[in-house]
Structure 1
Amino acid sequence: MMPASPLLSAIPGLRHTFFTREGGVSDGIYQSLNGGVGSQDDASRVAENRRRMAAQLGVAPAHLLTAYQVHSPDVAVASEPWDTATRPRADAIVTRTEGLAIGVTAADCGPVLFVDPRARVIGAAHAGWKGALTGVLESTIAAMEQLGAERAGIVAAIGPLIRQHSYEVGAEFVERFTLADAEYAGFFIPSAREGHSMFDLAGFIRMRLENAGVLMIDDTGIDTYSDERFYSYRRSVHRGEPDYGRHVHAIVLDRE
C-alpha cells in the first residue's frame, strides 16, 4: 500500500500517490521502483518503472511529468506533455489541465502536493532545505494563483522525507538559516555530536506553508532515512553506495 494523504484522498476528481520503492523492475541499489531519470540505473528499467507509476495514476506514460530539478524556487506551468530530454529546469510544477500527472522526484527532500479543489488547480513542489529556504513553496502557491487558485482554499500534503531524528547538520548549515531569520533557530535541536544539530525539515516546510496562507496541511510523517521502503540519499552516502534511486510523488486531476 502506497502512503497517501487523507486530506487529498477525500477530494473527488483527484488522484495522488507518494510512491515507495516497491513494485518496479530495477535491481541492486535501485531496487525496485526507481523513477530517477537522472540516476545511473538502466534507462529502460526507469522507463518501465515510470510506466507503472503512470498506470497507477490512470494516465499515459507521456502524461506523467517531472522537471529537471535544480534545488531552485522556480516553477514550471504544464499545459501539455513535454519530452524528458527537454523538460524544464524547475523544482515545482503547476497545472489546471486534466489528465496531466505532475510530480517531483525525491530521496530525502520534501515532496509537497497541492490542490485548490474549487479552482481545480494542482501543484507539486520539491522542497529540500535549499528550495524551502529560498521560496519554492511560496512560488508554487503564487503560480497556482495565476491559474485561478486562492491560497486560502489550497490543501497541501507533505510526503515522505528525512525527519529531524535522522537529519544531522553542521554549524554552517544552522548559521545559513539563522542569518535569514533568527527565529529559524527553533527548527534545530542539539545533536549528540558536538557542533552539530538536527534539522526539522518537515516543520520548516509546514511553517512556510502556514505563513504563506495555506492552513489545510497533511503530513505523512514518514522518515525516508530510517524506513527501508524508501530511497535515501543520506543513507546511500553513509553506506558508501555509488548512487541512489529516486521516488516520484505525483498528483493528477481526473478528466470530468
Structure 2
Amino acid sequence: MKLTSPLLAAVPGLRHAFFSRAGGVSGGIYASLNGGVGSSDDPGHVAENRRRMAALLGVAPSHFLTAHQIHSPDVAVASEPWTADQRPRVDAIVTRTPGIAIGATAADCGPVLFADGEARVIGSAHAGWRGALTGVLEATIAAMEQLGAARGRIKAAIGPLIRQRSYEVGQEFVDRFTQEDAANARFFVPSTRSGHAMFDLAGYIRMRLEGAGLAEIDDLAICTYEDDRFFSYRRSVHRAEPDYGRHIHALVLE
C-alpha cells in the first residue's frame, strides 16, 4: 500500500508514505486507493481512501491536507487544517505543526517530500515539468526556511513518477527547456519518433534540488507509467480511458 524513503525514514519524529494504488475501495480504472478529489470517482470512495491513508500516517482525516494543484511555483503554509473547499491553489505545502499531514497529489508528475528533522519543518511539493521549471522546488525550500529550516539540513525524497524511457515529448517542449538554459539539453535523449525526445523529469528535479543547496536526496526510482501498482495519466491516455486515479504522497511530524 505504501513505500518509504530510507533517507526520510531515518529522521526522528517523522512519518511519511508514498502510496501505491493498492489498499482502497475504489473500482474500475480507479482501483483501488484513489485519493483524487478532482477525479470523477465516487466521492464516498475517495473519502474512504483518504481516511485510510490518514490512518496509516496516524492522523485524523481532517488533518490529512492536500492542495488544489495548478502546476505553479506557489506554496502554502499549513498551520491548521482546512476543508476541501478551502484548499489553497498551490503546488506545495510546508508546516512546522505536529499532527498535520501534508501531501502532494500525483499521477506521473514528481512528488517530492522534504524534512529538516532538527528544525522540525516539513514540506511536500508537486513537481510536474511546469512547476519544476518555474521554481516550485526552490520556493518550497525557501518557505521551509521561513519556518526555521536550514537548507543544508533539509533532506528530500523523490517519489514515483514517469521516467525518461516512458516520457516522450515534442520539440517545442525541448525548446522551452533549452531556451531557459542550454545545459538542460542533457535531460533529453532522442526518441524513435522524428521530432520527439525522451525527457528525464527525475534527473531535472534532482538537478534543481542540488542547485538549491540540498546535499541529501533520495529517489525511489519507480516509473508510474511502467509499473501498474501506480496510477499514470499518460498510460490512461494511451489506453483511451476516460479518467485516471491520483496518488497522495505525504508526511507528518509526530
The answer for the alignment partner of 1:199 in structure 2 is: 199
Please tell me whether residue 223 in structure 1 is matched to residue 223 in structure 2.
Answer: yes
Unaligned runs of 5+ in 1: none
Cα deviation for residue 75 of structure 1 reads: 0.1
Could you list the per-position Cα deviations for residues 15-60 of structure 1 after superposition, in whole angstroms to 9, with x for gaps in the alignment? 0000000000000000000000000000000000000000000000
Could you list the per-position Cα deviations for residues 149-189 of structure 1 after superposition, in whole angstroms to 9, with x for gaps in the alignment? 00000000000000000000000000000000000000000
Please tell me whether residue 115 in structure 1 is matched to residue 115 in structure 2.
Answer: yes
Matches within 5 A, 1:1-256: 2-254=2-254
Partner of 2:169, secondary structure, is strand
Cα deviation for residue 215 of structure 1 reads: 1.1
Q: Distance in 1 between matches of 2:180 and 2:85?
A: 36
Q: Distance in 2 between matches of 1:152 and 1:73?
A: 21
Letter in 1 for 2:41: D
Q: Distance in 2 between matches of 1:121 and 1:86?
A: 23
Partner of 1:21, secondary structure, is coil
Cα deviation for residue 236 of structure 1 reads: 0.2
Q: Distance in 1 between matches of 2:2 and 2:126?
A: 19
| CA RMSD after TM alignment | 0.5
TM-score, with structure 1 as normaliser: 0.99
Letter in 2 for 1:47: A
Partner of 1:202, secondary structure, is helix
Q: Distance in 2 between matches of 1:22 and 1:153?
A: 33
Letter in 1 for 2:120: R
Partner of 2:152, secondary structure, is helix
Q: Distance in 1 between matches of 2:178 and 2:33?
A: 37
Q: Distance in 1 between matches of 2:251 and 2:60?
A: 14
Letter in 2 for 1:123: G
Partner of 1:237, secondary structure, is helix
Letter in 1 for 2:25: V
Q: Distance in 2 between matches of 1:2 and 1:192?
A: 34
Q: Distance in 1 between matches of 2:106 and 2:82?
A: 20
Aligned residues: 254
Q: Percent identity?
A: 75
Unaligned runs of 5+ in 2: none
Could you list the per-position Cα deviations for residues 175-211 of structure 1 after superposition, in whole angstroms to 9, with x for gaps in the alignment? 0000000000000000011111000000000000000
Q: Distance in 2 between matches of 1:106 and 1:239?
A: 19
Cα deviation for residue 2 of structure 1 reads: 2.0
Cα deviation for residue 249 of structure 1 reads: 0.1
Could you list the per-position Cα deviations for residues 216-256 of structure 1 after superposition, in whole angstroms to 9, with x for gaps in the alignment? 000000000000000000000000000000000000000xx
